[in-house]
Amino acid sequence: MILSMTGFGRSEGVFEGKKITVDLKSLNSKSFDLNIKIPLRYREKEFEVRKALNDQLLRGKVDCYINIESLNDTNDVTINHRLVKLYIDELKKIASDGPDFEYLKMAVRMPDVISTKSDQLSDDEWIYLRELIQEAIAKFDNFRETEGEILDQELTRNIKKIENYLSQVEPYEEIRMDAVKERYRKSLNEFDQIDETRFYQEMAYYTEKLDIAEEKVRLTQHLKYYLEVMKNENFNGKKLGFISQEIGREINTLGSKANHAEIQKLVVMMKDDLEKIKEQTLNVL
């Protein structure tokens, strides 16, 4: 079964006047690479959040964003007015010729002038956040499955195209060998004395050297194996990558032995589809 490394999942809810949003998104990567942005309020639980994502998302360059927004009208920000006035008075003693607004701007940047209400994270809120994270992961997995179905169709189509091109090679094989033999006969006819035994030995050598039967068999097996792994094994992206490399080796050998214009054209088309397969395989989980 194919799963895409590209994924997206979002969950959101309201807990005691706070709107909490969890966003997950990923792109392909050779390993699990997690970037997480979490509010200070939940920082103590970051390790547990990371572990949950690492255990369930497996692979990919994953971004996790957790956002919290207050829905109440109450103001959690407090300004220490008395301290601001003290700072302004002290600043004026240093430089008395500046406007009051400039003193105010400097004063509000001083320590302990602005404070925010920070209540402790309750167990109930943490349980609620964990449920939101699991909901986001479920949606994320569904997205990967949907994208995986599209990848499955594209990969299957390109594998079948290579199989089709390979089947078109056979009609040119006999023509190709006949052309090679005829070329050697014409070359030998230019000489007065010909050792026929040596001639047939040379022909047997070049016939064997140009034979592509083994490459065709191995390429057919690799294409079949690719489809089997794709359909029957989970989390198979790395394995499919290795098989696609083997497919490439056989296509390259086929091209080096082809010695025929039409076969070379078929090899070029195989390589074109193989590049698409390699690119798509990089996005398989």
**Is the domain of 46 the same as that of 67?**
yes
Q: What domain range includes position 106? A: 77-116
Whether 98 and 216 share a structural domain: no
23 and 109 share a domain? no
**136 and 180 assigned to the same domain:** no
The DSSP bridge pattern shows strands 60-70 and 32-37 to be parallel
- Tell me, yes or no, whether 1 lies in a domain: no
Is residue 2 situated within a structural domain? Answer: no
Select from 247, 258, 275 the least CA-distant residue to 169.
Answer: 258
Give me the tens of pLDDT residue by residue for the chain, a chain 285 residues long: 789 999 999 999 999 888 999 999 999 988 889 999 998 889 899 999 999 999 998 889 999 999 988 787 655 667 778 887 887 777 777 776 667 667 777 777 777 776 655 567 889 999 999 999 999 999 999 999 999 999 999 999 999 999 999 999 988 877 776 666 666 666 666 665 666 666 666 666 666 667 788 889 999 999 999 999 998 988 889 999 999 999 999 999 998 888 788 889 999 999 999 999 999 999 998
Distance CA 20, CA 42 (A): 11
CATH number at residue 266: 1.20.120
What's residue 35's pLDDT?
94
Same domain membership, residue 255 and residue 167: yes
Q: Tell me the C-alpha distance between 32 and 62, whole Å.
A: 7
Q: What is the CA radius of gyration of the chain?
A: 34
Does 94 map to a domain? yes
**Both tokens assigned to 86:** 């003290």
3-state secondary structure of 35: strand
pTM confidence score: 0.73
Q: Are residues 29 and 92 in the same domain?
A: no
Query: What's the confidence (pLDDT) of residue 176?
Result: 72
Angle, CA of 80, 99 and 92, to the nearest 5°: 60
Q: Does 184 reside within a domain?
A: yes
What is the number of structural domains in the chain? 3
